[in-house]
Amino acid sequence: MKPVLLGVVTAVLAAILYNAGVAIQALDAREAPARHALRASLLTALAARPRWLVGTGLVTLGWGLHAVALLIAPLTVVQPTLAVGLVFLLVVGAYVLREQVGAREIVAVAAIVPGLAGIALTAPAHTPTQASAGAVGVALTALGSAAILPYLLSRLGRRPGVAVIVSSGLAYAWCGIATKMLADAVGSGAWGVAALWVLGTAAAAGVGLVSEMTALQSRPATRVAPVVLVVDIVAAVAFALVLVGERWDVTPLGAPVLLGSLALLTVGAGVLAASPAVAAVAHGQAAAATPET
């Protein structure tokens, strides 16, 4: 099997574990008191629940496979491929929860499948990050600052609104990029640097998780998930293009086909993430429940 295809398969497995883990986590997040919103205490409260810890374990395993995928395939391919886990959730929703699957879901899957095939066939070569450490640092600082903006607004007594959803997507994009940097460090044998990237990834994952769980306390999953997913994919792919140095102009079928495939997969995933059938699994069936205060 070619490295890129092996990377895609590994990323799909990572996506299934990620989504299964988040679905389990969300069952408890819906029950967490609203006073923990945008606070580290939200994770502390959830960590006392065994079921949430099981979900976290699955997410951690998914992250491990995510890192493996980035060792052999480009970020342009791996990050969007993680969205394929939504198809897994749709299957669970349809066959386990008996949720209705309509034309929207069918069209979304019909977009995701060829989109994934397109990026697998037209992927740029796997490339270690080409930009300087300073450029990467500036980019990640800007991304991280935008991700924590809702926390600053909250401390100032202002409601962060939709920014908390965007914060989650940006933080998860930071995780994906940091995982790419971790894979680069492991590939070059820089184990000390790799350890630092592990810590950075964990911190960003914590921010993304708190933001997402907070958003889910007051908004339906069908409004939260699409924004988080699309922001994550777009930010990570932009980083890959601008700073990693992944060459779209030398792909097997050309940059337009790759760009079209990415757009097809991203739009299809966004539509599928907004499906009630997927939301019922990914974020708990009590999507309209009012959280405790």
Q: Kindly report, residue by residue over 78-87, the tens digit of the pLDDT.
A: 999 999 989 9
Q: What is d(CA 40, CA 212) in angstroms, rounded to the nearest whole number?
A: 13
The answer to whether the beta carbons of residues 221 and 162 sit under 8 Å apart is: no
Question: Tell me, what DSSP letter sits at residue 254?
Answer: -
More reliable by pLDDT, 23 or 181: 181
Long-range contacts of 152-159 (CB under 8 A, 24+ apart): 154/37, 154/38
Q: What is the pLDDT of residues 171-193, one digit of tens each?
A: 999 999 999 999 999 989 999 99
Q: State pTM to two decimals.
A: 0.82
pLDDT in tens, 192-212: 999 999 999 999 998 998 898
Burial of 23 per CB tally in 10 Å (0-12, 13-18, 19+) = buried
Give the residue among 202, 183, 204 at the shortest CA–CA distance from 193.
183
| 221-279 per-position pLDDT tens digit | 778 888 999 999 999 999 988 888 787 777 777 788 889 999 999 999 999 988 888 88
Phi first, then psi, for residue 156 (nearest 5°) are -85, 5
